[in-house]
């Protein structure tokens, strides 16, 4: 059979093969996308706005990561630059696409003529900033990888990239607001931003003059983008002889509705006073010529109120209808919330809200449909109920005969009689003008009222027999579906930039205060601010937020849990927000994928206040970096928090720090309040007053507040204290205060208005906030601005604000936490002058650098940055695949919240029961009393000679020693080493079983399952031990006249030190005033660098502040080189210890104050310590890691190690193999360096190691350059059988990627070891070409 005949016979198959081949080729060709960065970037930002001309260190501490963006060598970069001279002046010289056709494709489609998305601005004035999901323009031919790559760049880089190709336009929010343009756009609806002087709709202090139309109320431009042909709701007003000024108030609230898709049917019930008719309705007759929403009907005969309403019902075109009498008013968002409720709760027919009565009588009315059968005896429902129009028609409308009143009550009972009922929104939305007595005869006359009720019972036997329908909002079902279809449209015109605050609730607290300050500042700067809350809460601060915006939606009150994300999609499309701002809302993070898919257009950012390591692996910070791809920008309240998230994997290019600012004009010192609150609360004039302001929840630790006060009181110090704030633990705190007998000294005020909070804070001496977690507490800002010193927790970024010169910080969660707070409060109680001095310094600090204006400016800069990025992220999410996935993600998010709500009560019961059943404390423990100090009566030599070394009391735990024996011992708490997760070493041989080679229980690892918690989480500290010796021996043990510090480390309870030698008693005593010891057991190069030197990171601050402190290190050449040459310490500060017995001369060191840092478990350096040590190496050797091209592959030989063991017998072949693989994989891109293994760390080694991408070598001290290698360095360790794993552990603490090449039939004590070249080759190929290697392995296995 010929080839031609074969082809003909299988023609279809041949065509399919050719088509598939072409398809694969095209996919490969157009989906491979990366870029490279040379070393010669030149910046040209002359035409950028200020925030892009001079990026701050905080804002743009950004470098491209080598793992994301491979680098060319310098030589190659120079060659490319020579070939492309036209790019020399561009900031993006170093950013070139590897595939030229790919580059051409991107440049082709990023064309300003198609790039309408970069414009944006005022509706009807210039193109909108809003992106139509169906019109991707420039992005439609870019694949997800390309869009993702570009969006991962810094905003400056994106701007420079676009400028280079002719795109000078930035998003409109990057420009200053043009108020003349806004006036033109808004026309007669133009307003000047207003912040209401007092809280709005505060039922505890209702201001009845702040009616919806008040000029003092906050404004929002509610106006339709275009008039709808079919109204969604009919507003029905029966008009009869109403004064024009009164009618104007009602009309203002109609046109001020956030739901603009309405018609307003005004029925003039043949009003006899034509003058009033003309004055009141003339304006609206004229307006109806241009606004089709206005319909005016003039009845020729007076039919009274119910008849006039029925006339309007006949012509109503809305799906819903609501009656608004011509003298009543609505709040702005009433109709929008009520209609959304009815659209999504089909079982309900009616919906109203709480009422504010005004005019002849002022009151609030919270009764309604939820009062059920009570409505059969007396009307509880106001007339302004939103109803389904068809249902109203079906029951016959209003009873036209009831012309003397109660026609609305009759309607509600008739609705119930026909199976209809409603829901009352738990918000004040209806303003009812109370008429003088006598207007409604049927209501005011008791006989007529009783007659009416009797008649109702006859008319509506079904309702009076069975009661009204018993409706309730259905509970959320398991895995309840999420709808995508938005039930109605409400497109509003947009003339000002808009931001949506998506937050959990509005309650007393620092985060909410910051949100309020931010919202107020943005409104006054010309923005329109909207707020949506996600959590079911009291929202006590709603009246405060209503001062700055009417556009507030507490979603749980009108939307089902599973409908929140759909409402938000509707909301975002309705308002065309420029920015969606997420803060501290779990639900909001769950909704992000849904919103990015269903509500494209705005920039999506989050603002994070703090990390919470013990809550969900980082709390909201964890949500932030976990949602990085869904966010255009992540903003943090402190640089500490930003760096935390970057270390956890956040792309630094998409992050920024914006410190919380304070309005120092608002929060000012008010000395007069000291006398006022003392008189009000019955406090003496001359005692310390402590104020504690927080939501009473576990993270604020009210139990610590109570315990500290109890102890200070027991110590005999006088004080008074105030607690402000409610919460879950309010009753617990109240009970504890009473139980401790402190009710006369401590006042619990609960939730009070914010204006009152300031009074109590400014009248106090100390602001006490012992939180477990904080970002930087806004409440502390406010206290310091009011000249009150702070005592708080050393968490988050607090140390950036509360420095030792202005207040006190204590590390939470330690055994000494309460002791330290107690000591501080006791000192302040005994020295009121100190508290006053610290208060003055606190105010000075606030006035010098913590302005709210600076915060707002920085925030707007970050809004601009996010808008730049969102042009590339938005098209990534507007496709059917992502839409489907995002819907499922929303379902899972809602299910998570439902499960939390279901299980939380059980958890609370379990916690309470556990606390109740906890065994009582051990009261029989023997008290230890220390021997009296022999100093200064005796000299150190005399004391040493008299000590019975073997009889010294052993101290195993420094914290227990302080708590139970030596309370005067000073301990400074440093970072808390969390239990971070380590990973198994990687092996090229996928058949290797880690437990078989590495062995279970080796190096404290129970099971090599790739989830290996660091086993030594602990509080890091510096103990200040007075009059202490460091004795000769194998571990440089610390002891004094009656105790020796051996110090166990958990969990094995092994000792850090050994007992000092008996011969120490006759050694020479070398004295010093202050000394820090880094030493532990053993003094090899490996032990010093891994187990001892990292402790230096704990005392750096002390060493810099006090030049008298000397440092004790082993008497070795490597210690001298590292401390003096590399870390640049003055030689006279270094003291050298000679380890072991028999040294001549033998020396015991004595220090008046010995600084003892936290012990390090051998071979297990804590991540915090060793990472800070690495940073200190970089700092002292002037290394800027952000500018380094990490292109070095280092081979660490054992040629110069002191140990004769584990020399590589085929080292020449190993080196040759490495070089060949590098050459074949990257065309000489990397620089190969061989390190001889000399046991020291020199400045030169630090410089080289900071550039290392991969470190290769036999296990041993020769690998210790890893200590100065950057995170993500790849470490390839040749490992013998029965492996020692100190270098793997160190590598994990340094956040390296560890690979092992197992070498069988060898041991730690082998003199020579031959490295298997085939395994080395396979390992390096897997590292350089992981995908290719996987395909190869799969083929072999198949």
Are 500 and 572 in contact by the 8 Å Cβ rule? The answer is yes
Residue 1331 binned pLDDT confidence (cut-offs 50, 70, 90): low
C-alpha distances (whole Å) from 1277 to each of 29, 1242, 1249, 1263, 1325 are: 37, 22, 16, 8, 15
Which residues, including other chains, have CB under 8 Å from residue 1324's CB and lie 6 or more apart?
1217, 1218, 1221, 1276
Average pLDDT, the chain: 85
Helical axes 510-524 vs 852-877, angle rounded to 10° = 90
| Nearest CA among 157, 202, 1054 for reference residue 543 | 202
- Report d(CA 870, CA 884) in Å as an integer: 21
Q: Where is mean pLDDT largest: 38-47, 163-172, 642-651?
A: 642-651
For residue 1099, the model assigns a pLDDT of: 94
Alpha helices in 525-610 (DSSP H): 542-545, 564-575, 586-598
Tell me the Cα Rg of the chain: 37
Q: Give the model's confidence band at 1282: pLDDT under 50 very low, under 70 low, under 90 confident, else very high.
A: confident
Token digits of residue 77? 């970069």
| C-alpha to C-alpha distances, 393 to 93, 317, 390, 401, nearest whole angstrom | 72, 12, 5, 17
3-state helix, strand, coil in the chain (%, to 5): 40, 15, 40
Interatomic CA distance for residues 1092 and 297, integer angstroms: 90
Residues 190-217 as b/e (b if ≥16 CB within 10 A, e otherwise) read eeebbebeebbbbeeebbeebbbbeeeb
CA 321 from chain centre, in angstroms, equals 43
Check pLDDT > 80 for residue 1034.
no
Nearest to 1109 by CA among 1158, 1075, 1068: 1075
Of 47-61, 527-541, 558-572, the one with minimum mean pLDDT is: 47-61
Query: What is the percent of the chain with per-residue pLDDT over 90, rounded to a whole number?
Result: 61
Please report, for residues 455, 1004, 1020, 1286, 1290, the alpha-carbon distance to residue 1162 in angstroms, rounded to integers and kept in the order given: 91, 11, 16, 8, 10
Structure tokens at 370: 């939820």
693 CA to centre of own chain: 21
Q: C-alpha distances in angstroms, 1341 versus 7, 987, 993, 1336?
A: 33, 17, 17, 9
Closest CA to 605 of 260, 373, 867, 400: 867
Instruction: Pinpoint the alpha helices (H) of 178-234.
Output: 179-186
DSSP H helical segments within 115-221, as ranges? 144-151, 155-164, 179-186
1145 preceded by a cis bond (ω within 30 of 0): yes
Can you tell me the distance from the alpha carbon of 225 to that of 261, in angstroms, rounded to the nearest whole number? 10
Omega of the bond leading into 936 within 30 degrees of 0 (cis):
yes
Q: How confident is the model at residue 1340 (pLDDT cuts 50, 70, 90)?
A: very low
pLDDT band for position 1128 (50/70/90)? very high
Least confident piece of the model among 127-136, 256-265, 314-323: 127-136
Short-list 977, 982, 1028, 1294, CA closest to 1158: 977
Task: At 945, give phi and psi (nearest 5°).
Answer: -65, -30
> pLDDT tens digits, residue range 781-831?
889 999 999 999 988 778 888 889 999 999 888 888 999 999 999 999 999
Q: How far is CA 284 from CA 226, 287, 305, in A?
A: 19, 5, 21
Pairing of the two strands 1054-1055 and 1048-1049: antiparallel
Complete DSSP assignment for 346-385: TT--EEEEEEEEEESS-EEE--SGGGGGGGGTS----S--
Angle at which helix 11-31 crosses helix 100-109, to 10 degrees, equals 80
Which helix (H) or strand (E) segment holds residue 1328: the answer is helix 1317-1328
155-164, 503-512, 660-669, 676-685: which is most confident: 676-685
Separation CA 48–CA 942 (nearest Å): 74
Query: What is the band of 25 on the pLDDT scale with cuts at 50, 70, 90?
Result: very low
- Residue 492 is encoded by which pair of tokens? 């509003």
Q: What is the pLDDT of residues 891-917, one digit of tens each?
A: 998 898 898 888 888 888 888 888 778
Identify which of 1182, 1186, 1212 has the alpha carbon closest to the alpha carbon of residue 1197: 1212
The most confident of 282-296, 441-455, 1026-1040, 1223-1237, by mean pLDDT: 282-296
pLDDT tens digit string along 926-982? Answer: 788 899 999 999 999 999 988 888 889 999 888 889 888 898 899 988 877 777 889
Q: For residue 1255, which of 1241, 1274, 1270 has the smallest C-alpha distance?
A: 1274
The Cα 1157–Cα 1135 span in angstroms is 16
């Amino acid at each position: 059979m010929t080839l031609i005949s074969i082809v003909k016979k299988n023609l279809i198959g041949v065509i399919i093969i050719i088509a598939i081949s072409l398809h694969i080729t095209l996919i490969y060709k157009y989906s491979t996308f990366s870029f490279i960065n040379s070393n010669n970037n030149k910046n040209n930002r002359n035409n950028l706005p200020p925030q892009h001309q001079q990026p701050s260190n905080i804002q743009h501490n950004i470098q491209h990561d080598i793992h994301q963006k491979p680098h060319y060598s310098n030589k190659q970069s120079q060659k490319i630059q020579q070939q492309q001279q036209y790019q020399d002046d561009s900031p993006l010289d170093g950013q070139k696409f590897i595939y030229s056709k790919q580059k051409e494709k991107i440049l082709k489609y990023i064309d300003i003529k198609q790039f309408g998305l970069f414009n944006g601005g005022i509706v009807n004035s210039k193109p909108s900033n809003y992106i139509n999901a169906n019109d991707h323009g420039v992005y439609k031919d870019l694949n997800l990888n390309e869009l993702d790559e570009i969006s991962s760049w810094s905003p400056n880089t994106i701007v420079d990239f676009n400028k280079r190709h002719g795109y000078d336009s930035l998003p409109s929010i990057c420009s200053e607001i043009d108020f003349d343009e806004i006036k033109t756009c808004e026309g007669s609806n133009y307003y000047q931003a207003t912040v209401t002087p007092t809280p709005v709709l505060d039922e505890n202090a209702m201001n009845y003059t702040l009616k919806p139309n008040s000029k003092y109320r906050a404004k929002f431009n509610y106006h339709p983008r275009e008039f709808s042909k079919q109204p969604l709701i009919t507003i029905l007003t029966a008009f009869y002889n109403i004064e024009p000024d009164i009618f104007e108030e009602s009309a203002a609230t109609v046109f001020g509705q956030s739901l603009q898709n309405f018609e307003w049917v005004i029925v003039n019930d043949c009003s006899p006073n034509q003058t009033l008719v003309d004055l009141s309705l003339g304006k609206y007759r004229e307006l109806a010529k241009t606004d089709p929403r206005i319909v005016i009907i003039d009845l020729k005969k007076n039919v009274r109120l119910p008849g006039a309403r029925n006339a309007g019902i006949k012509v109503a075109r809305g799906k819903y209808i609501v009656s608004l009498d011509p003298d009543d008013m609505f709040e702005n968002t009433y109709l929008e919330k009520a209609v959304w409720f009815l659209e999504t709760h089909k079982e309900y027919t009616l919906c109203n809200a709480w009422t504010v009565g005004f005019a002849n009588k002022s009151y609030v009315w919270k009764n309604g449909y939820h009062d059920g059968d009570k409505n059969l005896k007396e009307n509880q429902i106001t007339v302004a109920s939103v109803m389904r129009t068809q249902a109203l028609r079906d029951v016959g409308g209003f009873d036209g005969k009831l012309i003397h009143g109660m026609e609305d009550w009759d309607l509600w009972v008739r609705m119930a009689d026909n199976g209809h009922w409603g829901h009352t929104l738990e918000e004040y939305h209806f303003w009812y003008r109370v008429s003088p007595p006598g207007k409604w005869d049927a209501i005011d006359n008791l006989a007529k009222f009783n007659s009416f009720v009797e008649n109702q019972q006859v008319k509506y036997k079904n309702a009076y027999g069975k009661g009204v329908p018993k409706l309730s909002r259905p509970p959320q079902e398991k895995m309840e579906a999420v709808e995508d279809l938005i039930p109605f449209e409400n497109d509003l015109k947009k003339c000002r930039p808009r931001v949506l605050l998506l937050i959990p609730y509005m309650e007393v607290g620092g985060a909410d205060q910051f949100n309020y300050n931010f919202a107020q500042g943005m409104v006054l700067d010309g923005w329109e601010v909207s707020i949506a809350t996600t959590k079911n809460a009291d929202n006590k601060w709603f009246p405060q937020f209503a001062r700055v915006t009417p556009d507030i939606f507490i979603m749980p009150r009108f939307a089902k849990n599973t409908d929140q994300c759909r409402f938000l999609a509707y909301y975002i499309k309705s308002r065309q927000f420029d920015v969606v701002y997420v803060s501290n809302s779990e639900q909001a993070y769950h909704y992000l994928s849904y919103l990015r898919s269903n509500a494209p257009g705005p920039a999506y950012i989050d603002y994070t206040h703090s990390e919470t390591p013990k809550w969900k692996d980082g709390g909201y910070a964890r949500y932030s970096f976990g949602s990085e791809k869904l966010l255009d920008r992540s903003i943090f309240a402190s640089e500490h928090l930003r760096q935390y998230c970057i270390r956890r994997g956040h792309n630094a290019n998409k992050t920024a720090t914006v410190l919380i600012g304070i309005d120092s004009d608002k929060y000012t010192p008010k000395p007069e309040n000291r006398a006022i609150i003392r008189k009000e609360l019955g406090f003496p004039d001359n005692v310390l007053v402590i104020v504690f302001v927080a939501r009473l929840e576990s993270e604020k630790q009210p139990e610590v507040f109570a315990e500290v006060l109890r102890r200070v009181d027991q110590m005999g110090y006088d004080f008074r204290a105030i607690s402000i704030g409610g919460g879950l633990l309010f009753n617990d705190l109240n009970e504890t205060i009473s139980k401790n007998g402190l009710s006369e000294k401590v006042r619990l005020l609960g939730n009070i208005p914010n204006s009152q909070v300031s009074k109590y804070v400014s009248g106090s001496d100390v602001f006490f906030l012992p939180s477990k977690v904080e970002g930087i507490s806004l409440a502390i800002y406010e206290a310091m601005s009011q000249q009150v010193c702070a005592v708080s927790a050393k968490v988050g970024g607090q140390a950036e604000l509360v420095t030792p010169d202005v207040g006190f910080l204590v590390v939470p969660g330690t055994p000494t936490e309460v002791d330290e707070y107690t000591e501080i409060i006791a000192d302040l109680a005994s020295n009121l002058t100190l508290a006053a001095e610290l208060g003055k310094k606190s105010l000075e600090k606030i006035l010098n650098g913590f302005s709210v204006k600076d915060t707002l400016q920085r925030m707007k800069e970050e809004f601009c940055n996010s808008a730049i990025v969102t042009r590339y992220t938005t098209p990534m999410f507007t496709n059917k695949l992502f839409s489907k996935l995002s819907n499922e993600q929303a379902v899972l998010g809602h299910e998570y919240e439902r499960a939390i709500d279901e299980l939380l009560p059980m958890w609370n019961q379990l916690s309470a029961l556990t606390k109740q059943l906890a065994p009582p404390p051990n009261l029989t423990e023997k008290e230890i009393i220390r021997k009296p100090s022999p100093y200064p009566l005796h000299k150190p030599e005399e004391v040493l000679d008299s000590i019975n070394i073997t009889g010294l009391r052993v101290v195993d735990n420094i914290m227990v020693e302080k708590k139970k024996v030596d309370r005067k011992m000073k301990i400074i708490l440093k970072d808390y080493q969390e239990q971070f997760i380590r990973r198994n070493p990687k092996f090229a041989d996928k058949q290797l079983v880690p437990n078989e080679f590495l062995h279970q229980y080796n190096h404290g690892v129970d099971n090599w399952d790739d989830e290996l918690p660091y086993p030594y989480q602990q509080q890091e500290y510096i103990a200040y031990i007075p009059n202490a010796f460091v004795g000769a021996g194998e571990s440089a043990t610390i002891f004094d006249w009656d105790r020796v510090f051996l110090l166990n480390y958990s969990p094995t309870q092994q000792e850090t030190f050994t007992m000092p030698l008996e011969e120490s008693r006759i050694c020479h005593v070398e004295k010093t005033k202050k000394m820090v010891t880094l030493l532990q057991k053993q003094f090899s190069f490996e032990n010093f660098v891994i187990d001892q030197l990292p402790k230096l990171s704990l005392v750096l601050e002390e060493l810099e502040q006090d030049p008298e402190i000397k440092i004790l290190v082993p008497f070795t050449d490597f210690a001298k080189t590292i401390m003096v040459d590399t870390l640049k310490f003055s030689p006279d500060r270094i003291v050298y210890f000679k380890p072991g017995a028999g040294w001549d001369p033998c020396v015991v060191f004595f220090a008046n104050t010995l600084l003892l840092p936290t012990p390090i478990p051998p071979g297990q350096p804590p991540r915090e310590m060793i990472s800070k040590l690495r940073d200190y190496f970089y700092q002292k050797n002037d290394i800027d890691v952000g500018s380094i091209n990490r292109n070095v592959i280092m081979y660490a030989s054992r040629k110069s190690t002191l140990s004769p063991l584990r020399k590589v017998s085929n080292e020449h072949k190993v080196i040759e193999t490495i070089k060949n693989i590098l050459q074949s994989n990257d065309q000489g891109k990397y620089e190969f360096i061989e390190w001889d293994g000399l046991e020291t760390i020199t400045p030169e080694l630090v410089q080289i190691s900071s550039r290392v991408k991969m470190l290769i070598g036999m296990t041993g001290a020769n690998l210790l350059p890893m200590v100065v290698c950057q995170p993500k360095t790849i470490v390839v360790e040749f490992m013998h059988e029965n492996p020692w794993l100190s270098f793997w552990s160190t590598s994990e603490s340094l956040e390296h990627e560890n690979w092992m090449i197992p070498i069988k039939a060898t041991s730690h004590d082998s003199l020579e070891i031959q490295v298997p070249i085939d395994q080395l080759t396979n390992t390096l190929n897997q590292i350089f070409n992981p995908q290719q290697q996987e395909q190869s392995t799969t083929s072999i296995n198949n």
